[in-house]
Amino acid sequence: MDTKQIIQLFTKGSVVFDDILFKKLECTYGIQLVQKGKSRFDTRYNQSDKDWMVNKELGWGGSMSDDYPFRWDITSDASVVCYRSNFVEYIFFDLVVLSKVEQDIIIKEKEIADKEANERARIVEILTPVLVHQMMPYNKVHTGFLEINYGIHLKQTQRGMHMNMKYKPRYGSTNWVANQVLCWGSNTGWDITTDGKIACCRINYDDYVNFEIEVLTPEQIEEYKGKELRSDEELLKRLKFLKTMLEEDVITPADYD
């Protein structure tokens, strides 16, 4: 893009602040905004010796948006950008024009990040009813149930009292699906983070467990199926042995039952 086209992006309302967060500027337009500072006052003329294209008071959203439609301003050489985020905050950026190689790298990274985000969203969709709503018993964690049926493994990272736990609902800046006090006792309390990465389980009154949520490969799922099959075979052997002990009066029918 040339300088004129870049300027029009910001003066014609084609850019919103979320475009920075979601890498739209890099992937679509081949430009990048690098934050250089914030100010409680309009310091545009201290940020650059070039002319500003809007050159009037910037809006901050809300009911005043009609009176002040421009939230962005940009210098005449498209090197510095200003965004008014609210009534008392101005954010300033250096504008960098990316090379084709740099743009392609960012596009590839975003594709990978988007794919992971979609996968994590799928995990939240799967585990919310199984853990949060149905409150899967803790003793099912190590049985292969989640691995075989859903391709998900819970890797324990911490167990301890509530006050010592790194991840727990209603505390810190982490977002949780239910985000409420976990039950305990006859029902196992569960919650998972909204990014699908962490699960928290409450077993007893002050007995909590944190897990990392891992996605298994098809090969790993088959491995868990094989382990479960071998467990069934072992159980069958033990039951046959018990029956033999019963027939030889080594144990009573009550013992056998």
Residues 156 and 70 in one domain: no
In a domain? residue 147:
yes
Element (H, E) at 47: helix 44-47
pLDDT at 227: 78
pLDDT digits (tens, 9 = 90+) for 63-103: 667 789 999 999 999 999 999 999 999 999 999 999 999 99
The domain containing residue 239 runs over which residues? 218-256
In a domain? residue 103:
no
Residues 51 and 25 in one domain: yes
Residues 182 and 210 in one domain: yes
pLDDT at 237: 78
Residues 186 and 236 in one domain: no
Residues 55 and 141 in one domain: no
Residues 195 and 127 in one domain: yes
In a domain? residue 138:
yes
In a domain? residue 243:
yes
pLDDT digits (tens, 9 = 90+) for 183-227: 998 888 999 999 999 999 999 999 999 999 999 999 999 998 887
Residues 81 and 159 in one domain: no
pLDDT digits (tens, 9 = 90+) for 96-122: 999 999 999 999 999 999 999 999 999
Residues 29 and 55 in one domain: yes
What type of residue sits at position 121? A
In a domain? residue 105:
no
Quick one: which of 104, 103, 110, 152 has its CA closest to 127? Answer: 152
The number of folded domains in the chain is 3
Residues 204 and 247 in one domain: no
Residues 153 and 124 in one domain: yes
In a domain? residue 89:
yes
> Per-residue confidence at 228, pLDDT binned at 50, 70, 90?
low
CA separation, residue 66 to residues 14, 60, 70 (Å): 17, 10, 9
pLDDT at 183: 92
Quick one: which of 88, 110, 83 has its CA closest to 26? Answer: 110
Supply the pTM of this predicted model.
0.68
Residues 94 and 136 in one domain: no
